[in-house]
Chain A
Amino acid sequence: MTTTAPTLIESTLQPNLTLVLVTVFLVATGTALALDRSLVRVLLGMVLIGNGVAVLYLVISGRAGRAPFVDEDPSAISDPLPQAMVLTAIVISLATIGFLLALSYRLWQVSGTDDVPDDAEDARIQRLALEDQTSSTYDPSETSTTTSDELAEEATGVEQSDAEPLRTGSEPR
């Protein structure tokens, strides 16, 4: 067990400050966007975070070099492995983002808004805390639910939750 690896790294890995800053900027902006309430902004945030991570792989592939063909001088070529990895990651994130786009369109279809809704459970607990109740799981007199849920019910005329008929909405999903 020798230390060949770290010495090898030290000789090749020279982090590029510009790329590091680009990564930081993209991930920071993406995080800020991802904390937003609108799903489209969250989605854009995820795109930026994904791109930031992709740039990180350029940082770790070290000094830019020639195209890594066979019989090329190993010291002159770029490290191909991070590029292979990041290509895979980019393809995966492209597909995921496509799916998320479809999902946010569907969310807009069913609820008329692209806001990520309040968690029904959170709302219930908050209400109980305000009313200083300790534990009650269901109260038929309270039929309010999150705003977007109500909007969704008006918009689509159907019930929300899984196969629970006559759901009044004030119980957990």
Chain B
Amino acid sequence: MTDFPVPNLVPLPVLLPLLGAALTLAFRRSPRLQRSVSIAVLAAVVAVAGVLVWQTDVRGPQVLWLGAWQEPLGISLVADRLSALMLLVSGIVTLLVLVFAIGQGQADSDEENESETPLTIFHPTYLVLSAGVSNAFLAGDLFNLFVGFEILLFSSYVLITVGGAASRIHAGTTYVVVSLLSSALFLVGIAAVYAATGTVNLAQLSLRIGDLAPGVALVLQLCLLTAFAIKAAIFPMSAWLPDSYPTAPAPVTAVFAGLLTKVGVYAIIRVQTLLFPDSPLQGLLMWAALLTMVIGILGAVSQSGLKRILSFTLVSHIGYMIFGIALATPHGTAGAIFYVAHHITIQTALFLITGLVERLGGTTSLDRLGGLAVASPVLAVLFFVSAMNLSGIPPMSGFLAKIGLLHAGIEVGTPLAWLLVVGGIVTSLLTLYALAKVWSQAFWRTLADAPYATEAAAGLRAGTLDVEPATDPATAVVVDTEPRTLPRTMLGATAAMTAVGLAITLVAGPLFAYTQRAASDLAARDPYVTTVLLQEVRR
């Protein structure tokens, strides 16, 4: 199984960004070189991930044992269909958000404002974040998964507090402490797993956990799930997210919203399917999914700030993915995987659009916004398409993803599954309501109708388009009424992100088939285990 004509590409999604981070750190005096390195590296990651998707689909999972240790001892990187798809989607998202951030940085520095994303540290940190995400997707053992989480979390600490303004410090503090706690919990889980089984390799664990006493296995599962649930922002552990994400710079929020919670979801999918396939916790997961969906979306409905509305819909839609995982059928898992791919792209697109709204209207508070559809029709179209996509209007990918999940839920047919189906539909409608509110207030009505329109938007009212207040929140008292246009790079990246969301609709057939194959592999467990472990180790 190891004689591939294609070289083993598995380590590249981790290595390339790390090397790129080192290079961008070395080139910190030359923003242009930094930009080219970052874009080249992330484009290469997308290409590699694309090849991996094809490779894993045609030839089965790919494995690499690092450092040539004797086999079950070393650290393994494994790419199966699920990992490869996650890598591809996350690669595309990080690349497009980088383009957006570069556009924003350039636009800001052109106007001699302090940049919202200081380029010198932004590029290395961003690339390390990408490496951490890739490492988490590829990790073949629990501890490497932990390391991947830590890499991405650490970069996210830096990115979320970038600039050091008071609001970001406040938000960052909560975020760091919550993440530290979840990491400690994850470490306890790993310790318990090692004590019970003598290994942390996922493939070996999948063979050994079945032999444990049910009580012990349950403790392990609860411990790991709680740690991942904090990272994925599942209901009782979701309160940190809407508080911390909205304060970060727009591109940072976008990439966090797209990727970080989904890494937690990925970990839950992996652990649930590989280690605990006959889980006694499915009922608990279903309740968690239902509460995440409903309470999250009720939070979104009650908010009046665009960023917070989107943060709450993010939490709410995590519930859909957990719903798919909790069903524990191949169809449910396939639906969850498809939903992850759809949701990463669409949530990122919406947060990028929010960044543009903030630039154009000077605020993201709905009470102060208005007339954006006139000010920038392109932006309005992008928002409308993305919002309809997220809330699941046919025929877009959001609709297909939800249909996939609901279908899987109806297939299972237990009362709880039916309850979740109803909850999913209600959540979808409430998402539509929340986003329609944004549309009618921020885009459709005239600015004069906005109850608390401020001088920030005076330029808009007076007909001078594209007014932008000071970019740095720390100094945002003085209103900068200099006319500004939306930078073409930022608008282009946002449009591309929205287009990727729509493209998922176009390739939905093949993609669904792919996720079905991925899910049946996960359910069978055998392809993963046989690829990773030698025959004699498996015995």
Contacts and interface: CB of A to CB of B under 8 A. Distances in A.
B208 A5 contact: yes
Interface in B152-204: 154, 157-158, 161, 164-167, 169-174, 176-177, 180-181, 183-184, 187-188, 190-192, 194-200, 204
Interface string A111-128: 100001101010000000
Given A103-B169, A117-B170, A135 B477 contact: no
A78 B473 CA distance: 54
A13 B195 contact: yes
A165 B207 contact: no
B452 A140 contact: yes
B195 A9 contact: yes
A95 B169 contact: no
B363 interface: yes
Interface stretch (B122-130, B275-283, B297-305): B297-305
A160 B166 CA distance: 6
Contacts of B449: none
B177 A106 contact: no
B194 A82 contact: yes
Chain A contact-residue range equals 35 or more
B contact face: mostly helix, strand, loop, or mixed: helix
A99 interface: yes
Interface in B80-126: none
B477 A165 contact: yes
Nearest to B199: A5
B166 A156 contact: yes
A9 B193 CA distance: 11
B21 to A, nearest CB: 15
B308 interface: yes
Interface in A123-173: 135, 137-138, 140, 149, 152, 156, 158-167, 171-173
Contacts of B57: none
Interface in A85-101: 85, 88-89, 92-93, 95-96, 99-100
Contact of B363 (A1, A92, A163): A163
A106 B164 contact: yes
B363 A165 contact: yes
B365 interface: yes
A76 interface: no
Interface string B461-504: 00000000111111111110000000000000000000000000
A1 B207 contact: yes
A34 B358 CA distance: 36
A2 interface: yes
A111 B166 contact: yes
B26 interface: no
Interface of B: 143, 146-147, 150, 154, 157-158, 161, 164-167, 169-174, 176-177, 180-181, 183-184, 187-188, 190-192, 194-200, 204, 207-208, 210-212, 243, 246-247, 302-305, 307-308, 358, 362-368, 451-452, 454-456, 469-479, 539
Which 10 A-B pairs rank lowest in CB-CB distance, beginning with the nearest?
A137-B304, A60-B195, A110-B166, A5-B208, A165-B456, A162-B473, A164-B363, A53-B187, A165-B469, A92-B150
Interface of A: 1-3, 5-6, 8-9, 13, 34, 39, 42, 46, 49-50, 53, 56-57, 59-60, 81-82, 85, 88-89, 92-93, 95-96, 99-100, 103-104, 106-107, 110-111, 116-117, 119, 121, 135, 137-138, 140, 149, 152, 156, 158-167, 171-173
10 contacts: A53-B184, A103-B172, A104-B173, A107-B173, A111-B169, A138-B451, A158-B475, A162-B364, A164-B473, A165-B470
Given A1-B207, A5-B199, 10 more contacts: A9-B198, A92-B147, A111-B166, A116-B174, A137-B367, A160-B167, A163-B362, A164-B368, A165-B478, A173-B167
